[in-house]
Amino acid sequence: MLAIEPQPRIDTLVRRVDGTEARRTEYAGVAWLKGRPRVEDSMTIRPSPDIARGVAFPNFDVVFFLPDSLPYVRDDVAEEPLQVSASLRGAGEVGAVVHAAAAWVDDPSGSPTWIQLRLVGHLGWQGGVSYRVVVLTPPDATA
């Protein structure tokens, strides 16, 4: 059970080192793995009531499209890098994010292109991964 909570997207116009203008878009949010835990009072955190019962494996490998991704034009972003950072949130005592990567992925219809995020790691208890993806594109690279 994956629940994505995006934060407000930030778009700014910036100037690159070579003097050209670029659009800097920052995506951030939390990917709750196994559902979002609930806080009952100041001392108690309980698993989500929607969590699957039975044996649960602590390793995770999830892939999802950023829910607030702008639609991009493939030819305008093909060579543009995606910067990613990720950290555990509410994960208990044992856990790690061992891989976080973003990629440009074409829509099955062929257009537009979206941003997809992959997170790999270990999470012993119900928790989440905070993510941030920053991209610089030409100002008119959105579809």
Higher pLDDT, 95 or 131: 131
Containing 86, the helix (H) or strand (E) segment is strand 82-89
CA nearest 128: which of 18, 45, 43, 14? 45
- Across the chain, what does the average pLDDT equal? 88
pLDDT in the model for residue 18: 94
Q: Take residue 16 and report the two structure tokens written for it.
A: 């690159």
Q: How far apart are CA 112 and CA 75, in angstroms?
A: 10
Report whether the peptide linkage leading into residue 112 is cis, meaning its omega lies within 30 degrees of zero.
yes
CA nearest 136: which of 85, 81, 86, 84? 81
pTM for this prediction: 0.85
